[in-house]
Amino acid sequence: MNFQATWFVLWSVLWAVYFTLDGFDLGAGMLQRFVSRGEEDRRTVVNTVGPVWNGNEVWLLTAGGATFAAFPLVYASMFSFLYSALLILLFALIFRGVSFEFRGKRESQTWRNGWDWALMLGSFLPALLFGVAFGNIFEGLAFDANGWQGSLLGLLNPYGLLTGVLFVLLFIEHGALWLAFKTSGGVAERSARIAGGAWYALLAVAVAFLVYTNFATHLYDNYTNQPLWVIAPAIAVAALLGVKLLGRARRYLWAFYSSCLTIMAVVFTGVIGLYPNLIPSSLDPAANLTAYNASSSDYTLRIMTVVALVFVPIVILYQLWVYRIFRTEIKSDDAVYEDDSYSVPRKAA
């Protein structure tokens, strides 16, 4: 069994699942102040993601842990090359998590507004920075046998920023669709309008990304060598069109599912183009970190495979149970509580 290739696939799946699940609550966080017209609306938005955001971030920890265990050289290099960017990302995620818990601890509107801004910025920055990070990885990082030759500002190059904008728009669309079917009244209507408008911006940026990728990266080489893999970007395009058609028909739950498929397919489009590289070098191809020269031993990967087969299904079943428990529509009156504890649905939908 080729454990290096197996764990490259599993590594890709973990990142795809993380972006799909945490993507909608990052999107909802970015949109909270835009879809709300008062305190009840803002609490409604928080309640839609309150019971699930922490569980969604488990996939980030799992993806990071899998990188550390399966590809330790990649993990070490990422935290060496991208330390400053990852530190900013970490603080943004911390402020986002704290905002959920602290915004209701005082009755002061100023206090709540402050934490609402923390929620918005703590959702926007991770979306942008994840995109910038993956854009730079797709393009290749500035390192060679002598180590890192780049800088933090060097990561803010046109292709990296374009990929960051793509991630932000993907998550805004994802979060708007989540709010459109998860809420009612004004929040749902405004979210649906934002989803409809953001789709056109997302389409334009996605087209620009696909064109620019041809000039800035070598991602298309694998597709030239193995044309069958074109199925991944084809699914992404079809799913994105499905988002628009289903949203226009006001079938927001199914539009949300189509958005999930879009994000999954976009991630796989990128990692298929990367394979076998995990972090390519823009300076010296001989320095590329791949699934083979940066992996742990076969013995380690074999043990990890057994552990993953046992525990990943348990995590999936737990999250399915949580989503089932909190599957009902969140209404404004559900959001009126004293301490911002997350409201439990009154009855099954």
Residue 105's pLDDT is 87
Question: What Rg, from alpha-carbon coordinates, does the chain have?
Answer: 20
Is the model's pLDDT at 331 over the cut of 50? yes
The answer to whether 141 and 81 are in contact (CB under 8 A) is: yes
- The residue type of 238 is A
- The residue type of 44 is T
Is the model's pLDDT at 338 over the cut of 60? no
Tokens representing 244 are 């628009």
> Where do the structural domains in the chain lie, given as residue ranges?
3-335
Residues 6+ apart with CB under 8 A from 229: 222, 223, 272
Position 343 confidence tier, pLDDT thresholds 50, 70, 90:
very low
Q: What angle do CA 119, 76, 59 make, to 5 degrees?
A: 40
Residue 300's pLDDT is 96
Cα-Cα-Cα-Cα dihedral sign, residues 198, 200, 202, 205? negative
For residues 185 and 37, give the distance between their C-alpha atoms in angstroms, rounded to a whole number. Answer: 11
pLDDT per residue over 287-311, tens digit each? 999 999 999 999 999 999 999 999 9
pLDDT per residue over 240-275, tens digit each? 999 999 999 999 999 999 999 999 999 999 999 999
User: Is residue 177 within a helix (H) or strand (E), and if so which, with residue range?
Assistant: helix 158-182
Please report where in the chains the tokens 């991770």 appear, as a residue.
126
pLDDT per residue over 203-214, tens digit each? 999 999 999 999
Measured CA to CA in angstroms, residue 212 lies from 19, 25, 160, 183, 221 at distances of 22, 28, 11, 37, 14
Please report where in the chains the tokens 């530190």 appear, as a residue.
87
Is the model's pLDDT at 328 over the cut of 60? yes
